[in-house]
Structure 1
Amino acid sequence: MAKTPAYLAIAAELRAQIQSGALPAGAKLPSETKLMQQYGVSRTVAKWAISVLKAEQLVEGRAGSGVYVRSTRQLVRQAHGRELRAAPGPTSPFARDAARAGQRGTWEHDSRHAVADEQIAVRLGIEPGAALMRTSYRFLADGEPIQLSTSYEPLSITGGTVVEWPEDGAAVGVVARMDAIGVHIDEFEERINSRPASEAEVTVLGLPSRADVYEINRTYFADGLAVETADIVLPRGRYELVYRIPVT
């Protein structure tokens, strides 16, 4: 098994200290010189380790002073059923995640009619060219951009109903909206990838140029029928993805 590169191992130790509170918001990170002495590495390795944490937006440099832990709280994305029906509170999954972290979740959106390309058609089990509602979102926690999402819903399901326009209808959140028209979502699938942020994502989310993101392709199902699919982008370091899966 390949050994973890030293800069990633150092970044992992510092990240764990930040997430545990051992290095709280506002705390100063050890200097490059101290990291070199502590871990027996070169200055380049120490610099790369700190760059990883900067890219994840866990720390920030202050000119002439050093590198400090940012005063931002990490959101935890609980993905076991999402508790969207049973638990009290907002029916938007993002609003729940933000509230759990003690932050105010808001979002911007743009909905418009579109047609399915081949990739989206396969995910939804429909014909290419079929009519869709396409909605682009930018989510903010306490006013800071933290998530992007593009959602696709077949108009064969929502067209002409009170929830056709996702943010202007009778409910908020896919599960609650589908419930409102008698479509009972009972399952979802997520495929997760980690990749460098695109130039557009760097700009819209206010990320460092070398940041990495999680990309989640999520699809909701009702009795085996795909009723919505979405591409979700989350900055690494700002999110912890938690999956609790029942064993049968």
Structure 2
Amino acid sequence: MAKHIDKRPTAHRVAAEVRFLIMSGEWEPGRKLPTTAQLEEQYGTSNVTIQRALNILKAEQLLEGRSGSGVFVRDRAPQTIEPAAYASPSTAGEPYSWVTEASKRQQRGSNRVLNVCEAPTPVRVAKALGVEPGEVAALRVRLGLLDNEPAELTHSYYPLDLASGTRLLDRRKIPGGSPTLLTEMGYPPREQDDIVAARSATTEEYELLEITGDTPVIEVFRIVYSDDRRPVEVTVMVKPAHLYKMGYHLTVS
């Protein structure tokens, strides 16, 4: 087998190696990085290249420089989000689970509704809903924030015959979130299929999630089913990959 050669600029290769150490937990929050000289020796490159690599990671908020002390891994570790925690309806009177789950982590969760409209379905969404591509569906676009920082961008589609005349097409926030409303409407979420991928950000995602450089995003394409396995919601969720991880708990029978 031919050897695969990493043709990325050296600074990007070094940044990738250090990023891995941080994301994997090998380098813990608050850890002081080796000196520039030590990094030069470790990676066999120049001071200028090391500084470029560190600046890439500082822009991604993975590293922070402290005047007179050096460069440190940021104090907050990459955060694991468990998508399954947001699938169930909220308890009566409780806010959307995005808010309550954030509180459990000593964070402030909030949502910003960016758009609510009737929109043509993209091909994969149409296939998931069992309609023809381009057929109109209800669309809700939401920006989820944690401690006032953008953490997740979601585009959620609903069959138009189900959503018409309901709060799914209302610009206001939905008390308890869509799982609660769907349950009240007689379509309780019973199952969900998730497809997880990593890719480059679109311009919309780049701007709304305040992504820097070429940082990838994590995409979760989710189909939510109600009784008789009827698809009632299809959501595309996107998170900055350098700040968040996706966590799943599976029980094997």
Tell me the matched-pair count.
Answer: 242
The farther-off stretch of 124-133 and 158-167 is: 158-167
Letter in 2 for 1:155: L
Counterpart in the other structure of 2:10: none
Counterpart in the other structure of 1:112: 117
State which of 173, 180, 184 in structure 1 corresponds to 2:184. 180
Counterpart in the other structure of 1:23: 29
Once the two structures are TM-superposed, the CA of residue 74 in structure 1 deviates from its matched residue by 4.0
The 3 A distance-change label for structure 1 pair 90 and 17 is same
State which of 226, 243, 248 in structure 1 corresponds to 2:248. 243
Unpaired runs of at least 5, structure 2: 7-12
Is contact 1:155–1:164 with CA below 8 Å preserved after alignment?
A: no
The 3 A distance-change label for structure 1 pair 81 and 108 is closer
Once the two structures are TM-superposed, the CA of residue 179 in structure 1 deviates from its matched residue by 0.5
Alignment of 1:1-248 (within 5 A): 7=14, 8-17=16-25, 22-24=28-30, 28-37=32-41, 39=42, 41-43=44-46, 46=50, 50=54, 53-54=57-58, 56-61=60-65, 66-72=70-76, 74-80=78-84, 82=86, 84-85=88-89, 90=94, 92-109=96-113, 110-165=115-170, 167-169=172-174, 171-223=175-227, 224-248=229-253
The farther-off stretch of 119-128 and 224-233 is: 119-128
SS of 1:112's partner is strand
Distance 1:246 1:86 in 2: 23
Is contact 1:105–1:142 with CA below 8 Å preserved after alignment?
A: yes
TM-score scaled by length of structure 2? 0.77
Once the two structures are TM-superposed, the CA of residue 154 in structure 1 deviates from its matched residue by 1.1
Is contact 1:220–1:229 with CA below 8 Å preserved after alignment?
A: yes
Distance 1:66 1:31 in 2: 8
SS of 2:154's partner is strand
Once the two structures are TM-superposed, the CA of residue 72 in structure 1 deviates from its matched residue by 4.4
Unpaired runs of at least 5, structure 1: none
Is contact 1:76–1:101 with CA below 8 Å preserved after alignment?
A: no
